[in-house]
A and B are shown apart, each in its own frame.
Chain A
Amino acid sequence: MRIRVGHLYPDYLNIYADRGNIAVLAERARARGHELDVRAIGMHDAVPAAEIDLFYVGGGQDREQALVAPDLVSKGEALREAVEGDATFLAVCGGYQLLGRFYRDVAGDEQPGIGLLPLETIAGGRRMIGDELLECEWAAGRTLAGFENHAGRTLLDDGAEPLGRVVAGFGNDGSSGHEGCRYRRAYGTYLHGPLLPRNPWFADRLLAEALAHADGTREVVELPPLDDSLEQEAHRVSVARARSRGGRRR
């Protein structure tokens, strides 16, 4: 099966090794006999919503983020419809913030988001930087380990689902104990590092969901396991880092 990936603004939003996430998806799809077809969706490009199974948007510096924000707004409706139609979406760091309603910087200026995720982000004084560990109740308590580096405090709406509970690190805002956000098959998170190489179960989850969109069944079927000994070792080290030196909630 061909899994069609739409990578939003790869030239602008790529600061935390986002191509590592794409490489992991491609290789893990190939190992199961599928093919990942990645196309870039850049400035002024139309979003071919019906032709994309999995969207990806990464993080950028403030300057690059400000350059793409207005363009993303023009793509908002197509992206929201795609997610309502069971497309999968992974948004990391700056891309995560832009999927909310707005990002307000320290000066009080607001950058519009696309309101795909039920949240808003307000910049704080001190950056939240460090290793981070989450536990995901919705995924049978499996863990995600990565690195966070953000000034924005992201506030989820009442009733919104976080991606996970913070075991070690700061998370969305350093105080709620929540990290990321999950809506239908869209996932936003501050975790990079990049996220997928050391958290292969999550990569497989995204692929399984994207396959369900690609084959039209909408039924998510678990993928056959791979030899992940190296991945597990990297996960173990990353977990230990978060536990020993992840940012503390204040």
Chain B
Amino acid sequence: MRTAGALSRIAGRGGGTTLPGKLLWKLDPGAIDRLARRLPEGSVLVSATNGKTTTSAMVAEILRPRVRIAHNSSGANLVSGVASTLLRSRGAALGLFEVDEGALPEVARRVRPKALLLGNLFRDQLDRYGELETVAARWRQTVAALPDTLLVLNGDDAQIGDLARTRGNALVFGVDDPRQARPALQHAADSKYCLRCGTPYEYAAAYVGHLGDYRCPQCGHARPPLDVVAREIELHGLDGASFTLHAPAGEARVELALPGLYNVYNALGAGALALALEVPLAEIKAGLERFSAAFGRFERIAIGDRRVLMLLIKNPAGANEAVRTLVEGAPPKVVVVALNDEIADGRDVSWIWDVDFEPLLAGLDRLVATGSRAAELGLRFAYGGLPRDRIEVVPSLEAALDRGLELTPSGGELILLPTYTAMLALRRVVAGRGHVQNYWEAA
């Protein structure tokens, strides 16, 4: 453990870097297993295509008053990020790690979590992760190799809900509120064919993408019974959402400061994981209600006499929910959308054509398209029906931010929809002007 000790001192100095973790992973991969075993209360993992950062940040907020946690809060969710967090978290009792979908098998094998939350699987960066089916197959193997791990599963996702069937120790969560259902499956809906026989599922209610209450009319494969349920959901535009959390232990009304049905899913998953850790319902409610925003996911930043609202977009399912939430508030007149094509964004930008941006167009006076693939983004909106004289292509992120602010009236709010690396870059620009802390200082 001498390597780990030296690296730990470096990691302790902060800076938000994963370098010590990368070094440890290279020099002594087994050290990660040993560091994880030192945590007296063990570890819990959170994985999903969408919402893992927000969900694990919610869990952290719930647990903070009762236990000292090691948490990769800045979204460094590969093996190296988990290693870095372990290195700099001396004295922590419980590990709480969000884990990249592709990295889950390796992290789970090393960390041997006592609980594992699986939130959803959407099509995402096919150039990087491969097909959704491939990820699902690797998850099935991962779960099979963790017989003692308590599974916390989103039953509304057919691929994930199915994992509950083989286990006694699974806690299944889901939404049950047909008033919030979408009239039809979205264009980009993924797992919509029966896992068993390939027949299209029939949905009593579809909530987010393919998440919902499904049943196969051919063979009867259906959503498993739910243990933890969100009902009586109220969405308050951009101002928040509320729902009643029904659990075996009782029920609690939760008022979230975050908007949108997708955040109800995040809160529900976080609540279910906390229940699995035997946290009382009142503490879960309090933690969820204290929670404001995870890094770059739904962040409001004041810039002079204007505000910027940043919503990360990274794949069709997530972007659809961002659009839906914006339109349910006051539909924006000016939007800055930022599309980069680095590895972390996905080098294949075709996904923007699978996003239902159209509901935004009706009220839109001006779209500022920015990022390294700004022109492609401009085309997406042009062929989506936005007149070309309302589209400005400004590849420089900083120039686009300034242009957006210029178009925003004094006292108004500018909507920014960036992909991952564009979000990081925009935050750096804003931080450089002194409006937000760098993320390693905020943690």
Contact = CB atoms under 8 A, between A and B. Distances in A.
Interface in B246-268: none
B127 interface: yes
A15 B188 CA distance: 8
A237 B383 contact: no
B133 A62 contact: yes
B9 interface: no
B373 interface: yes
A238 B123 CA distance: 23
Nearest to A238: B376
A192 B379 CA distance: 15
**Chain B interface, DSSP helix/strand/loop, else mixed:** helix
Contacts of A24: 383
Contacts of B133: 61-63
Interface stretch (A106-114, A163-171, A193-201): A193-201
Interface string B332-362: 0000000001000001111111100000000
Please tell me the size bucket of the interface on B.
Answer: 20 to 34
Contact of A230 (B126, B131, B353, B379): B379
Nearest to B136: A63
A209 interface: no
Contacts of A23: 353, 383-384
A15 B123 contact: yes
B393 interface: yes
Contacts of B198: 63, 67
A245 B372 CA distance: 14
Interface string A57-68: 000011110010
Interface in A84-119: none
A17 interface: yes
B379 A197 contact: yes
B127 A198 contact: no
A5 B375 CA distance: 27
A230 B352 contact: no
Contacts of B372: 237
Interface string A182-219: 00000000001110011000000000000000000000
Given A14-B187, A15-B123, A193-B349, A127 B380 contact: no
A147 interface: yes
Given A61-B131, A67-B198, A17 B378 contact: no
Given A14-B187, A19-B354, A67-B198, A193 B131 contact: no
A233 B354 CA distance: 21
Contacts of B380: 20, 197
A230 B383 CA distance: 11
Interface in B231-288: none
Given A147-B348, A237-B373, A237-B376, A67 B383 contact: no
Contacts of A147: 127, 347-350
A15 B384 contact: no
**Nearest 5 Cβ contacts at the A-B interface:** A17-B353, A20-B353, A233-B375, A17-B350, A234-B375
13 contacts: A15-B123, A15-B126, A16-B350, A20-B353, A62-B133, A130-B127, A147-B348, A193-B348, A197-B380, A230-B379, A234-B376, A234-B379, A236-B375
